[in-house]
Amino acid sequence: MGELKVDKHVQYILSVEKKKDSFEALVMEHLRMNGAYWGLTTLDLLQNVASVDQEEVISWLMSCWDRESGGFAGAIGLDPHLLYTLSAVQILALLNRLDVLDIEMISEYVAGLQNEDGSFSGDMWGEIDTRFSYCAICCLSILRRMDKINLGKAVNYILSCKNLDGGFGATPGGESHAGQIFCCVGALSITGSLHHVDRDLLGWWLCERQCTDGGLNGRPEKLADVCYSWWVLSSLIMIDRVHWIDKSKLTEYILNCQDSENGGISDRPDNAVDVFHTYFGVAGLSLMEYPGLKPIDPAYALPIDVVNRIFFSKF
């Protein structure tokens, strides 16, 4: 099985940053902010975030800020959205530079996207999804502006997306999906509302996601995929049921998805690698306390020392 190729993965992430002009990079341009968050968080978990020029990152990141609305876009000149606003705030928290933000404006933008029923729209065009509830709650919590929204309604909306099997979907009645479960459980965890979750029932559903190859899938009848190492494991940790699954088989599965020559991690063994799966693979290993990695917080999706710095420091 071998071990985690830390140096190769660092090199891989740095090389992706340099290939900005390739066709692949251009068609993915709209979510570069998410890419930057995945890459930088992985580097930090691998204890290598110092290898990037932080000033350059911050100046690019701030050029994606839309002054008019207060939200962040995925790349320069594009439209703001909660998905990118959270990534931008997470990156600045990671780099300990939340001071560059206009916190009032950003929190007003986020709070302005809450709807009457407590749900959140992703942007001004109104699409609703429990992912956006997570983005809003996580973002406001990092900025310490949770008082800006109606928290009771936000929690009730998330609970209205809970299913009979203990899982959560994107909207009320939506099929349970491990990614949506992470968002809902994460938001409930941040708001101190985990007592609403049926831990045994959800824990069982999440454990049923482990396939015979050791990897985790996101829904019944699907193949295992490295990204669910993060979504499923983090949820299991938040509801205190992580000791219910076979961690050594999962570790082996993730390590088998590494490209040992050129670095990076793919969705399943022998597929092409990308930054998204590299982040989720490393983050999953971090949740399982893999040696040499920084521990990551399962709700905020940031290294634990970063989360501690936010909540135990004055700003």
Partner 1 sequence: MEARRSYKSLINVPKRRNSLNATNFESQFPGTDIMKHSRSLLILSPDFGSVWNSRKMVLSREPNLALLIDELNLSMLILSYSPKSEQSWSHRRWVIKKIAEKFHDLYDIIGKESEFVKRIAEKSKMNYRAWDHRCWLILYMNQGQMLDELDKSRNWSELHVADNCCYHYRRRLMLNLLEDSSLKDDEQKSSFYMCHSVDMLKEELKWNLHLIKTYMGREALWIHRRHLSYYLISRITNPIEISSPCKVQLEMISALHCFLGEEMELVHTCLNIPADEFDDARAQAQHAATYLLWISKKIVLSPEYRFQEKLMEVGDLKTILMNTSPEKSLTWERLLDQSPAESEKNHLNFQTSTSMRDLKG
By CB under 8 A, name the binding residues for partner 1. 23, 26-27, 29-31, 73-74, 77-79, 81, 123, 125-127, 160-165, 169-175, 177, 198, 200-201, 203-204, 207-208, 210, 212, 219-222, 241, 243-246
Decide: 293 and 46 in contact? Cβ < 8 Å.
Answer: yes
**Toward partner 1, which CB reaches closer, 54 or 171?**
171
**Toward partner 1, which CB reaches closer, 9 or 177?**
177
CB of residue 24 vs partner 1: minimum separation in angstroms?
10
**Toward partner 1, which CB reaches closer, 42 or 163?**
163
* CA-closest candidate to residue 85, choices 121, 43, 118, 42: 121
CB of residue 187 vs partner 1: minimum separation in angstroms?
17
CB of residue 90 vs partner 1: minimum separation in angstroms?
19
**Toward partner 1, which CB reaches closer, 166 or 186?**
166
CB of residue 87 vs partner 1: minimum separation in angstroms?
14
CB of residue 208 vs partner 1: minimum separation in angstroms?
7
**Toward partner 1, which CB reaches closer, 5 or 81?**
81
**Toward partner 1, which CB reaches closer, 197 or 283?**
197
CB of residue 245 vs partner 1: minimum separation in angstroms?
6
